[in-house]
A = this chain, B = another copy of it.
Amino acid sequence: MELARPYLLFLGDVPDALAAKTALGIVDWRPEWCLGQHRLPGCAADAKIPDLTIAEAAKAGAKTMVVGVVNAGGVLPEHWIASIVAALEAGLDVATGLHVRLASIPAIAEAAAKHGRKLHDVRHTSERFATGKGTPRSGLRLLTVGTDCSVGKKYTALALEKEMRARGFDADFRATGQTGVFISGRGAAIDAVVADFISGAVEWLSPAAAPGHWDVVEGQGSLFHPSFAGVSLGLLHGAQPDAFVVCHEPTRTRMRGVPHALPTIREVIDLTVACGRLTNPAIAPVGIAINTQALDETEARRVCAEAEAFHGLPASDPVRFGVAPIVDRLQALFPAGRRK
């Protein structure tokens, strides 16, 4: 799935900022792709970019209207359909992360066909993948892995890409989840792929690259999560990472949604290396990203310092303290990493 840019972000009339978190995430990480926002009367979210009508956005060169909202049940409110049809009529593609498929709504399907526009359902995938081959590919790859779901793997990958680019690395974030796809403009929601093709889909989304190029691949789930470990393992094999960063939330005691205890960072490192060796014998941990949101600053610094000393790896909170120490390590371990 490849999304044409720049974007017009559709916020509808969502009741609060949380419902527009996809749009806000896109603006955070890709402000240069976002021409403006289109809101309906009563919208309580604000992405702090210019408000544009659909006609204005089309005139300014917008290529895709991204429905950057989540709502209960993933359905599309009736009164948003007119805006989507208007965008298609104005020559824009439309992309959503909602559960409902755009083409299942007759008025939208007809408008897309009539005006030759693309409809992207980022939560689904229409791409037909091959099975993974595990063949070594050129280029360098980093994968973020987790002690659990929802511990900051996407944020960490994006923060790493940003820091690496700032230092002149040739680095690209590779999306494996729906919000990530909007932010990278390309990718696939890997948990929506048919099981046989998990690693094959990752091979597709992180293809062979120049020898010093870095793909920073967004991780999913955890090898220790009883619901999603299969996805995480296929992703690990498909990404064949040279380096990985373990993401962790230190106050969590149970895995998300299940009663199982969290694994230790050490267990995650060991199992990631044991399994990852299959497609990259040189796989190595390069850092620990700790989500310290629930801790005060002193405690946060203590937790990071402790993890750093215990594991012999740079440990930091990407939001609070940045990822510079992890990129320092990456730079030291992979001097061949190409500068742009």
Contacts and interface: CB of A to CB of B under 8 A. Distances in A.
Contact of A195 (B131, B190, B257): B190
Given A192-B194, A195-B195, A233-B233, A227 B278 contact: no
Nearest to A191: B196
Contacts of A199: 226-230
Number of identical protomers: 2
A325 interface: no
A25 interface: no
A86 interface: no
A237 interface: yes
Interface of A: 131-135, 190-196, 198-200, 223-224, 226-235, 237, 257-260, 271, 274-275, 278-279
A267 to B, nearest CB: 9
A133 B258 contact: yes
A230 to B, nearest CB: 3
Given A133-B258, A134-B227, A135-B259, 8 more contacts: A133-B226, A190-B195, A194-B195, A196-B227, A198-B230, A223-B233, A226-B237, A230-B235
Contact of A131 (B193, B194, B227, B278): B227
A165 B195 CA distance: 32
A116 B260 CA distance: 45
Contacts of A195: 190-195, 198, 230-231, 234
Contacts of A229: 199, 233-234, 237, 275, 278
- Most central of A190, A191, A194, A228 by chain B CB within 10 Å: A228
